[in-house]
């Protein structure tokens, strides 16, 4: 367990940022009897996830929704989680096949044509595509 200053130093961020993430509900520390906030290993994982999503230019509200979904999934029983991951695996394999089909076509486009394709994607589509490419490589 880490106090806010320790966590900020460990994660190379400011106490103010951690405090903000706590205020908006991204981080859920426990309170000691003296009202200190203590952050666990789950907070480290969440901060790493936030940074990853921020690097993909995902808005903080969408990041929060994603993290809430992950937290909700962690509360499900083991069989449901295993089935969920099996379904995700099937979807990822299907998406990988689609990406492998599309990549040669995209490689042939010039930069203005690529920009047109990029503009056709939704605001969530670009980070999703980047994340999928990262996961599938």
- Per-residue pLDDT of 55-102, as tens digits, reads 888 888 888 888 888 777 666 556 666 776 777 778 777 777 777 777
Return the pLDDT at 59: 85
More confident residue, 18 or 123: 18
Please report the DSSP string for 49-60 in residue order: HHHHHHHTT--H
As a whole number of angstroms, the distance between CA 17 and CA 40 comes to 16
- Listing from the earlier edge strand, what are the strands of the sheet with 30-31? 2-3, 37-39, 30-31
pLDDT digits (tens, 9 = 90+) for 90-108: 877 777 777 777 777 777 7
3 state SS for 84-135: HHHHHHHHHHHHHHHHHHHHHHHHCCCHHHHHHHHHHCCCCHHHHHHHHHHH
Return the pLDDT at 18: 94
As a whole number of angstroms, the distance between CA 29 and CA 3 comes to 9
Judge if pTM exceeds 0.75: no
Return the pLDDT at 135: 67
């Amino acid at each position: 367990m880490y106090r806010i200053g320790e966590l900020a130093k460990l994660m190379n961020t400011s106490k103010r940022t951690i405090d903000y993430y706590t205020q908006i509900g991204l981080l859920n520390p426990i309170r000691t009897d003296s009202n200190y906030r203590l952050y666990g290993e789950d907070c480290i994982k969440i901060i790493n996830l936030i940074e990853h999503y921020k690097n993909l230019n995902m808005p903080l509200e969408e990041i929060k929704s994603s993290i809430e979904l992950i937290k909700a999934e962690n509360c499900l029983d083991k069989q449901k989680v295993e089935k969920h991951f099996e379904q995700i695996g099937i979807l990822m394999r299907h998406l990988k096949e689609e990406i492998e089909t599309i990549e040669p076509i995209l490689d042939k486009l010039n930069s203005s044509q690529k920009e047109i394709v990029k503009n056709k994607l939704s605001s969530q589509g670009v980070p999703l595509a980047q994340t999928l490419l990262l996961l599938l490589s």
